[in-house]
Every structure is written in structure tokens, then in C-alpha cells.
A and B are shown apart, each in its own frame.
Chain A
Amino acid sequence: MSTFTRDSTSTSTGSTSDGTNGPTDGTSDATTTEANRRPRLSGMTWLVWRQHRAAFWTTLVATALLVGWIVYQRGQLVDFLDGYGYPGENLHEAGGRFQQYNDAFSFVSTGLQALPILLGVSLGAPLIAGDLENGTAKLVAAQSMSRTRWLATKLALVGLVVVVSTGVLSAVFGWWWNPVKSEATVMEWTSGAAFNTTGPVPVALTLFSVFGGVAIGMVLRRTLMAMVVTFGFTVVLQLVWSDFLLSLGNVVTVTTNKGVTGENTFPSLPHSAHEIDQSYVTGSGDLLGWSTCRHAETDAAQQACLDKADVVGWSVQYLPMSQMNAMQWFGASILFALTAGVVAFIFFWGRKRLF
């Protein structure tokens, strides 16, 4: 209480300390030297950070721990590859010795893929629903700052935490994967395990999930219900996204005209290309399923059947790995646009319907 005795004798206006919280929480008086040592939040930013600091710090600390783990794992991986002689030696022949490195990838990538769901439910849903449920939204609305400012600060801070966390994880995970990127046995690049955990995709997916959770919480006004509904929303988002993922690329079609039965008639695809479909192509350019004439009992009968159908070669559709980056950015930009729509809705709802 001594601080207050001191303050009551001073004539300064509105510049007293925060009591027993010590000088770090004091005012920006030039005399409080310690306060100047670390950057101090102020105004609405301080309030929002203070209110959600447990969730924000948990997210950031968990991110840091995971980054540390990934850095360690990458060291182990590189050591193994150097010892093994990769890429000179084929990894397929390493067998069980490579298994533990493979497992580490699938373990971490599962975690990263769950991130949008986890953060959407834990950070997004309660962000505003909590204030509406406890009445603290009214408390903030009764102060001198506008509601829009409050919403903007909340979204900005939670967005910052999400972008920092997922951005760093995405970069570090991509760096870990890079040495074995072309090995489909580790992760196929079109699978969620690789596509949704590297580049801009985890940032965009998580941001959309979290802001979607915020909007859901704002409409439902109940934290628990908002968390449940957000869980459903984020799971559905994952399903729709994984369905939709391959249509982000420009499918490349390669056709051959050397028949389909002989040696080396199948076209050679670029390394790590993701094959989408293969079929027979006829002289007139029509496509036939590759099971055509499979029922023939002898090779000669099959050849006759193929000749009769006028099959001249293969037609194979695939996505080359070189498209991965463009596909990720294209998908992410769609998600960012959806997120912008959600933000617009949040501000609209905040102005018209919040109370």
C-alpha cells in the first residue's frame, strides 16, 4: 500500500502505479526505468492481450517446443542421410533403418494437420463468445473506445498469434522435409500430410478456421456451444479441402502411340508426379478404360481385341510436383479471400447485432 500513500501526496494527474504489481505494470513515467526496458502494450491492445494471454502464450510456447523438436529431428535425419550416402543410395533399400525417420514425419504432420481444428476451437470460438457470455463485452462497450476498435484489436492479435505460430511451423516443417521431398515413401506431395503442412496452406487453413470460430461464437454467444460448432465447422473444412485439393492444379495429359502391350509403351512421368488417371487412347482420339480387352484369354486374342478397338496408346493424366507451390498459393488465396469475407461479416454483425 506504500505506493498509494506516495501517490496520494503527488499532484500528478492520473499517473499512478498499478499497486502491488510492481513497476513493470506502472505508468510510462520517465522515472520508472524498468518499465521502459521492455515494450509495453497500451490501450485496447493491452486489454486484449491481458485477457487472452494464457491462450496466446500457450500457443506460442507450444509452437516453440514443436519447432525445437523439428530442428532436432532434422539434425538426426541429415546425419542419417549423410551416413547412408543419400541421394547416391536408394532409400528404398534402407528398409527398417529409415522407419523411425518416416514415423517422425507422420507424427508431426498429423499434429500440424490438426492445428486448424485445435486453434479454431481453443482460440477462435471463445474469443468473443466468452465476452458475450460473461457480460464483459458490455463492460468494454461502456468505456470510451468504439466497438469496432475492440473487434479489430481482438482479430488483429489473435490473427497475429495464429500467423506467427503456423507460419513458423510451416517454414520449419518444410525445411525438415526438403532433403527427402522427392521421396514418395516419406510423404506424397499431394497428400494432406505434405500439402497442408507446408507453404502458405497451414497459415491460410488455420486463419480461416480461427476467424470462422470467432464468427460462430459471436452469433451463438455461448462459449461451449461455439466450441462444439466450431469443431464441426473445422472438420468439415478439412474434408472439403482434401476433396478439393487436386483441382487446384492444371492437369497435364500425356499420350503415346506405341501401343499398350509391349515393353516401355507406358509414358514416363516426371519424378514424384501424381498420377490422376490412365486410359487407352484410340486412333480417333477417344479414351477407353485400361481394362478394355483384359478378359481375353490369350495375348493374341487381346491384341486382336485392341486392334479392333483401334487402341494406339496410353493417355495418362498427372500433376507434376513443380506445380505444388503454385497450387498451394492458389488454394491459400482462396482461403484468404474467404477469411476476408468472414472478417467483414464479423464487423457487420458487431455494428448491427452484437448486443
Chain B
Amino acid sequence: MNKYTEDDLREELKTKEYEYGFYTDIESDTFPIGLNEDIVRAISLKKEEPEWMTEWRLEAFRAWEKMEEPEWANVHYAKPDFQAISYYSAPNSKPKYNSLDEVDPELLATFAKLGISIDEQKKLSNVAMDVVVDSVSVATTFKKTLGEKGIIFMSISEAIREHPELVKKYIGTIVPQKDNFYAALNSAVFSDGSFCYIPKGVRCPMELSTYFRINQAGTGQFERTLVIADEGSYVSYLEGCTAPSRDENQLHAAVVELIALDDAEIKYSTVQNWYPGNAEGKGGVFNFVTKRGLCEKNAKISWTQVETGSAVTWKYPSCVLKGDNSVGEFYSIAVTNNHQQADTGTKMIHLGKNTKSTIISKGISAGKSQNSYRGLVKISPNADNARNFSQCDSLLMGNECGAHTFPYIEAKNKTAKIEHEATTSKIGEDQIFYCNQRGIDTEKAIALIVNGFSKEVLNKLPMEFAVEAQKLLEISLEGSVG
């Protein structure tokens, strides 16, 4: 008879392995380890950047040198040695391809393993993909279709060369170089990332997507994303991340800046599946990310994230609701297992009148992991009639994990309406037995319960992404049975 107790459940969860843990042997062009002004210059040079960009990077580097790594988050880890990292690694083939036929077959095999065959993506999901392996953008599809609408979607390196006026105008305006330790580091050494511009009144006809992946050992990935939605435009942007399993910790410090001008809307969805380390907590990606968006009048920004990976996550996608009647949304599922630690949430800064924000955060903790929600809702003195609704739900599996909620509220306007709800629940043996009795095995039962718990957020993801996210939840939480 199957005596399946919570202990077994915990055991099973512990033995789960990272499914994307393989390493593709592509020759890479990698810089020596260490960071100094010469390395920053070299990166800029390698990417054939204009002088202003080099200077901008150096300014960030000098600021970074004087900064301290923050310690306020509810995470504990051995700080990375920033001088032991190589800050540039690029696949050693031709840097850019016009068609998929030109792409290194081994790289395409990597995509196939990831289940994101570009070919298939192109055909089935109407998704234009900008794939970033290590640091260089390898293939941008659908560029032509987008070009006809005046939409610019390319790697940020290309954008710096081809649209310097746009990049120069907006880069660092939402996340300044000196914003924080990791943002400063990113500003100094960012290797690539995506750039997107939607012209006035244009509704982007397809989901734009970037797939990030860390391949090379001992490299950090510092991508920089800049999305600008001009007045009255709309774009839905998808970002997915994976990394092969490695014993050492890999560093990922990205910056994402979103700008939604008057009446524009940006939907930004992330599925993050960086390697979380093994069951003993060895290895895994340090994910220190700064994401922020600015809403002008009547604009709207929605962040949706499904975070199942990384050893340590430090990430607070935020909205600055500057324009009157602007709307900010944050929908998040964060799953931690084994020794993973996540400190994630959002900041909603209400500056304009009649601004609205919604926060739905779902934390799922298993193993010995620690999962924290940290959020700030700030209503400034001029933000009349600002409204916020926050809901933070935690689901616990087993007795060794932790769920924490740190909601900060600063209201400086008496007309503000702020609501906060929080719940904590546990997957019960009774729930599992109920499913078992209906013929649903424990693995499937957990998936069902977790998906139900996460439904409000999963529903916010674009269809194809939601399916992938559901699969990821299952992979992250279920033991490799058999």
C-alpha cells in the first residue's frame, strides 16, 4: 500500500533535478575575468559603440566602484567575487544572421532541447523572438513584418548603432546608472539585450519575445532591455530565461526599463527558470534584477512574472505612475524549492491623480527554501484619489520552508484608498487523498493544486506562455518519479 506522507512528498521534491541542465559546446569568445575601466572600454569597443555610450558606461562603473552590495533583502548567500567573473562571452560564430539557415546547428539543437525551436515558434505562435545566448543576440525573426509598422525590435547593441537618438534619449531615464549596486554594474558592463520601440498609435500585431540563456561557465549575464511605447501604442513583451546547471554560482544582473507614453500600454511577461542550484544548495544563478516602468498620462504597465529558478532572486518590477489616470499592475508567481531564496515583489509609486495599481503575488515554497514578498505602495501628496489593491498569498509544502510578507505602505494623501490582503495555506494530505481517490496520482494532484492556486496570475499570461509556465511549475515542484 502506498503510504504517501508529507515526508515522502518532501523527499520527492528534494530529488527533483533541473531539466534544462545541459551545456552546449559552442566555441565562445570570452573576455578574461575581472573588472576595471579597461574591461568596460573593451566591451564598448567590441560592440562598436559610439563614444557617448562608452562614457556612459564608464560613469556607471565609477559610481559602482563606490557602492556597497545591498544587504537588506531576506536572502543569505556568499557574495560573488566581482573580479572573478568574465564580463563578456559571445558565441564564436558570425554575430548576426539573416535567416535561420545560417545559425550554428548546435545552437539550434540547444533551442530544441529548451523546447523553443525558433522555427516552431515562428510557425505556431506568431512570436517574434530575439534570442540571447550568453551575451549576443543571435536571431531576430519577424523583423520585416514589424518593420512595416515602424516597430523597431532589435538587440540593444544594434539599436545603439542604428537608433542612437532613441537610445540616448531614454536609456537610464527610468533606472539611472547609480540607481543601485547591480543596476550600476549592469550599466557599466551590459553585453546585450533587447530594444523595442512602438510608434504612435501602433498596436504591435504579435507578442515580442526574448529568450535569455547563460551557457558559458563563469560568466555573468548583464542584459539591458529598453521598451518604449509611444503615445497610444500597445505592446506585449515576453521574456524567458534558462541556464545550464553548473556547480559554481552564475551571476545575472539585468536592467529592464519600460516607458509608456500617454495612452500607451505595455504588458511585460517573464518566465524565469534559471538554474536554482542542486538539492544541497550548491551552484545556481544569482538573479539580481532591476525592472522599472514609467507611465505617462492614461498609460498602463502590467508586469507578469513566473519565477521558478535561480538560487537567489532579488527582483522588484516597479511602476512609476507619473501621469494622471495611469495604471500599474503586478502579477507574480514565485516558486522556491530546496535551498532557493527569493525576495521579490514590486513598487507602485503613485505620483499622478486617479492612479490605480493592483498587486497579486503568489508565493509557493517547498523544501528548505525561503520565499519573501516585499512590496512598496507609495502615494505621493499630489496623487489625489489613488487606489491600490494588494493580495499576497503563500502556499507552503512541508515544514522546513518559509514564506514571508513585507508590505510597505507610504500614503501622503488623505484621499488614497489602499487595501492589502494576505493568506497562507498549506497543501494538505486531505487534498492529496481527495485527488488520489478520484484517480489522480500525487504528482498530478500537486500540479493541479498549485495551478489552481496560481490561476489568477497564469490567466494574465499570453496563451502559449501560460502553457509553458504551467509546465515549469510542475517541473519545479514535482519529484522525478520512477
Bound pair (A, B): no
